[in-house]
Amino acid sequence: MSGTLSGGGSACRFTGFVIAEVALVRAVDRIEIVFMLLFRRFLVREELKRGDVAGLPLIAFWVLLVIS
């Protein structure tokens, strides 16, 4: 399942490179980390580490800062 999601993300990333600026696509691409951590937590039922939880809002803030 994780491989399928990663493959779909890659397809979206390459499509984004054609449509938008590379810097913007790379910034939004980092949100994949958030989705993978949420996937681990809710579908795999794996506990997140303290660093994972601390990094989630930092990644979200950085992406929002870049796209705005």
Q: Is 46 helix (H, G, I), strand (E, B) or coil?
A: coil
- Name the residue with tokens 């980092």: 30
- Name the residue with tokens 């990094």: 55
Tokens of 55: 């990094």
- DSSP type of residue 1: -
List, for residues 7-54, the tens digit of each pLDDT value. 887 888 888 889 988 888 887 777 778 888 888 899 899 998 999 889
Question: Which pTM was predicted?
Answer: 0.62
Rounded Cα distance, 11 and 6, in Å: 9
Rounded Cα distance, 40 and 15, in Å: 26
| pLDDT value at residue 2 | 65
- Compute the radius of gyration of the chain from its Cα atoms: 13
List, for residues 45-61, the tens digit of each pLDDT value. 999 899 988 988 888 88
